[in-house]
Amino acid sequence: MLKGPEGDGYRLFSSHVIWDRREDFEAWTKSEQFRDVHKNAGNSKTKSALMGPPQFEGFETVLHQG
């Protein structure tokens, strides 16, 4: 979890995960584990801390050095 800059009444946070394949990530979003982790995402305590729903931003490797 990364803590980003503070804005006008909010602070930006970002989580970062590396998946081997996009299909693995998509399968996780349909799993029981995903539902368990996110089951309280809409509760009043969490909702008051959010400006809106999370925004997914996915990136693919285009240059790999190693």
What sections of the chain are H helices per DSSP? 22-29, 32-38, 44-49
Render pLDDT for 5-54 as a digit per residue (tens, 0 to 9). Answer: 998 888 888 888 889 998 999 999 999 999 998 888 777 666 667 777 77
The pTM is what? 0.57
d(CA 51, CA 10): 8
Question: Whole-angstrom distance between the N-terminal and C-terminal Cα of the chain?
Answer: 26
Burial 30-40 (b: 16+ CB within 10 A, else e): eeeeeeeeeee
